[in-house]
Amino acid sequence: MNLSDSIQLLSQATVAQMMHRNDFSNRFEKGIPIALHELIYPLLQGYDSVEISADIEMGGTDQLFNCSVGRQLQEGAGKAGQAVLCMPLLKGTDGSEKMSKSQNNIIGLTDHPNDMFGKIMSIPDDLIVEYLKLVTDFTDEERNDNIQQLNDGLNPMFLKKRIGFNVVKQYHGLEEAHLALDFFENQFQKKSFEEKTFAEISISTIALLHSEQQVQLIDLCKIIKQSESKSNLKRLIEAGSVTINGSKVMDMHSMVSLDILPVKIKIGKRDYFQLIQ
């Protein structure tokens, strides 16, 4: 699109129409700035529908306004407006924010079965009904039965296991679902620290440790959990969620000795590692 095309597109909506979007109107009333590109964005997204002659557009409920703009633009171009299907937003494992990588609260579709199951087990109890409805493939009758059991006082742990099993089965198969359930029960419900299953890491594969006999705890955690931010690892350490050889260490600057191996380290609720030669 050249500039003339862009101006023509912008002429198809008014500022008043854009201000009907809830978050825009709320921010305007509270005196919170709204940048011009934010007002233009729904039109740009909506124009995609025109270009591909969309029949159906799906999104979260937060996209309802943008999808409606696309429908309006299609009709303005002499096309049939697409059907818009908006789904509720799924809250992440923290129980408050929508599931998002930026919030570090996601359950990834490609997560290892054990991680997928474990993350579901970590959701707050008040998310159980939402997860039953939005992430399982139970029949309506099965969902309603599970909800009734929860209301009747069934331990939420049992329902989380059912949800975890169902989700892992969907994305990894029945056998992996059974293995993930067994792993969770053995790893987190039955065994002492020494009996856990530890993922082995050779210190020879960790560049930082080649010539070091000691390393700061925060640096060691970052080396082991490269995908985690240091700020999140710091929070885990200060919350007492990191243990070395069975003892909590809450000072991120404390030094971990590598003179005597193996060194067993737990990071968070589910991750167990063992440093070996």
pLDDT in tens, the chain (277 residues): 899 999 999 999 899 988 888 788 889 999 999 999 999 999 999 999 999 999 999 989 988 999 999 999 999 999 999 999 999 999 999 998 999 988 889 999 999 999 999 999 999 999 999 999 999 999 999 999 999 999 999 999 999 999 999 999 999 999 999 999 998 988 877 767 777 788 888 887 765 554 567 888 999 999 888 888 889 899 999 999 999 998 999 999 999 988 888 899 999 887 889 888 8
Domain edge (last residue) among 87, 120, 145? 87
Expressed as residue numbers, the domain containing 44 is 3-87
Looking at the fold, whether 39 and 115 belong to one and the same domain comes out as: no
Domain edge (last residue) among 87, 109, 144? 87
Furthest-apart CA atoms within the chain: distance in Å: 75
Domain edge (last residue) among 127, 156, 190? 190
Q: Give residue 183's identity as a one-letter amino acid code.
A: F
Q: Give residue 32's identity as a one-letter amino acid code.
A: I
Where residue 239 sits, what CATH number does that domain have? 3.10.290.10
pTM over 0.85: no
In this structure, is residue 82 part of a structural domain? yes
- Cβ neighbours around 267 below 10 Å, total: 19
Looking at the fold, whether 180 and 253 belong to one and the same domain comes out as: no
Where residue 112 sits, what CATH number does that domain have? 1.10.240.10
Where residue 21 sits, what CATH number does that domain have? 3.40.50.620
Q: What b/e string do you get for 153-183 counting C-beta neighbours within 10 Å, with b at 16 or more?
A: eeeeeebbbbbbbbbbbeebeeebbebbbeb
Nearest CA to 34 out of 48, 14, 18 is that of 18
In this structure, is residue 93 part of a structural domain? no
